[in-house]
Amino acid sequence: MKAVIYTYYGSPDVLQIRQMPKPEPKAGEVLIRIHATTVSRTDCGLLRAKPFFIRFFTGLRRPKHTILGMDFAGVIEAVGAGVKSFKPGERVFGMSPDKCGAHAEYLCLSEKGPIAVMPASLSFKEAVVCEGAWYANTYLKKFRLKPGHKILIYGASGAIGTAAVQLAKSCGAEVTAVAATQHLNLVISLGADRVVDYTAEDFTRIDEAFDYVLDAVGKTTYFRCRRLLKPGGVFAATDLGPWWQNILLEIWFSLIRSNRVVFPFPGNSTEFVSFLKTRIEAGEFRGVIDRHYPMEEITNAYRYVETGQKTGIVVLDITPGDEDGNK
């Protein structure tokens, strides 16, 4: 099979397309022929091993797992002994958060892992939506969003931000989305009740207070946003922040018995994929796709994601010519 691999950390230039052995499903596993995947902020961070401490989990000198890519959509090619949940030919989607591996033509996963039959209405390219939504849902669950809560989402046009707007609305929350001028109509179409153009005004000075503030792109700080919070309000970010301040602030506020800043880690991915499928089928969630790249342009895909300017999801097309997901 063809796969994009990296054998040492570095820039997108270290990525190579190679022929690799096709994996064989073990007992309890399924083999998925991948049609589409994504290139994300997570992939870029793993590629460069930033922040440095992740090397203690991914490999100190060289990566333990040499194929990146978490999101996938494809077809069950074969099943291992004892598999009952899936059968060959089924169209599936999900993610591989533990070992990645989706930047390849084939991937083996446990049938009990984060994988589900695709909603019938989606093409493969529309189904690679799990990773950003998984992160967004982690924060919203930590907030315990309920109808009537007010949330501000900074960076509402990215993969996490577009997911957070939709999932927050499905919880019944009132959403204020902060984005650039060219993305305002997009976030309105996703359900935002109010939009703020950060290129035209300082979003931290608006005349409103919120139960929750989510920095979905890791480009602001608690200290800049704290005046937006109601008494008892909570700030969360999807990045460690300068000098790892978000983790340090969470520790500090927990010591003084406050949840003013939270930095949660993602929860059960298997349950989440089933949850997201339900939201998609209910018409409460859709992926926002910025652009597509073929596997052969993998370095360009990474370079674009590293600009920090993408809108929603960047899709990597593994199966050429697959336009409608039903082929």
* Domain extent listing, the chain: 2-129+287-317, 132-262
Question: 216-247 burial, b for 16+ CB within 10 Å, e for fewer?
Answer: bbbebbbeebeebbeeebbbbbbbebeeebbe
Give me 117's structure tokens: 């039959």
Asked whether this chain's domains 2-129+287-317 and 132-262 adopt the same fold, the reply is: no
Q: Which residues contact 235 (CB under 8 A, 6 or more apart)?
A: 212, 213, 215, 222, 225, 226, 229, 260, 261, 262
Going by DSSP bridges, is the β-strand pair 194-197/174-179 parallel, antiparallel, or unpaired?
parallel
Sequential pLDDT tens for the chain (327 residues): 999 999 999 999 999 999 999 999 999 999 999 999 999 999 999 999 998 889 999 999 999 999 999 999 999 999 999 999 999 999 999 999 999 999 999 999 999 999 999 999 999 999 999 999 999 999 999 999 999 999 999 999 999 999 999 999 999 999 999 999 999 999 999 999 999 999 999 999 999 999 999 999 999 999 999 999 999 999 999 988 888 899 999 999 999 888 899 999 888 899 999 999 999 999 999 999 999 999 999 999 999 999 999 999 999 999 866 555 443
With vertex at residue 35, the alpha carbon angle to CA 34 and CA 39, rounded to the nearest 5 degrees, is: 85
What secondary structure letter does DSSP report for 231? Answer: E
Q: Which amino acid is at 229?
A: L
**Computed from CA positions of residues 93, 326, 38, 284, in that sequence, does the dihedral angle turn out positive or negative?**
negative
Query: What is the reported pLDDT for 5?
Result: 98
| CATH fold for the domain made of 132-262 | Rossmann fold (3.40.50)
pLDDT at 325: 45
Position 322 scores a pLDDT of 59
pLDDT at 321: 60
Return the CA Rg of the chain. 20
CA distance 113 to 231: 40
Three-class SS of residue 124? coil
Q: Phi and psi dihedrals of 74, rounded to 5?
A: -175, -155
SS3 state at 268: coil
Residue 126 confidence (pLDDT): 96
CA distance 143 to 264: 10
What is the second-level CATH architecture of the domain 2-129+287-317? Alpha-Beta Complex (3.90)
**CA distances from residue 126 to 13, 258, 285, 308, 316 in whole angstroms, order as listed:** 28, 40, 11, 21, 11
CB 252 within 8 A of CB 258: no
